[in-house]
Amino acid sequence: MNPPKPTALRILEGVPGHHPLNLNEPKPKKANPECPDWLEDEAKKEWFRIVPELERLGLLTVIDVTALIGYCQSWARFIEAEKYLSEHDTCFETDKGFIMQVPQVAISQKYLKLCQSFMIQFGLTPSSRTRISLSSGEEDEDPMKKLFNKKRV
């Protein structure tokens, strides 16, 4: 079962479905977070790559920062594992003659999956973006105001 979508996202998608909109959904304050200095170097690079766009689209709020940190750190761990795999064999032979994968293969897959999960939540994949529609100049408009100000035909 898919997790429930935020009301603003359902409105932007233009398909609220049969379930009523949650007009009492919390609307956290938009954020302009500073990059934590303790992030891994690769995580910081990803932070500075993605945060300006998330802010421009109005998709980053004060309570989303933890998820953003999780995404960036997962990205750094994925890159770390991939760099290892680029320089080493992906398999080794055990003392008993069995062929095994090095742990970095599973680590890479785990963190890529975590990254993908966070990316979907932030609309950072091609398919998750297709469900969001922003008109030019209306990125900052409250989706609820937009819904109630529509002319009924």
Note the pTM of the prediction, 2 decimals: 0.72
- For residue 65, being part of any structural domain is answered with yes
- For residue 25, being part of any structural domain is answered with no
Q: What is the reported pLDDT for 41?
A: 97
Q: Does residue 15 register a pLDDT over 70? A: no
d(CA 66, CA 68): 5
pLDDT tens by residue, 16-36: 566 677 677 777 888 889 999
Contacts of 148 (CB under 8 A, 6+ apart): none
Question: How many domains does the structure of the chain reveal?
Answer: 1
- For residue 19, being part of any structural domain is answered with no
Range of the domain at 130: 7-12+31-149
Q: What is the reported pLDDT for 139?
A: 47
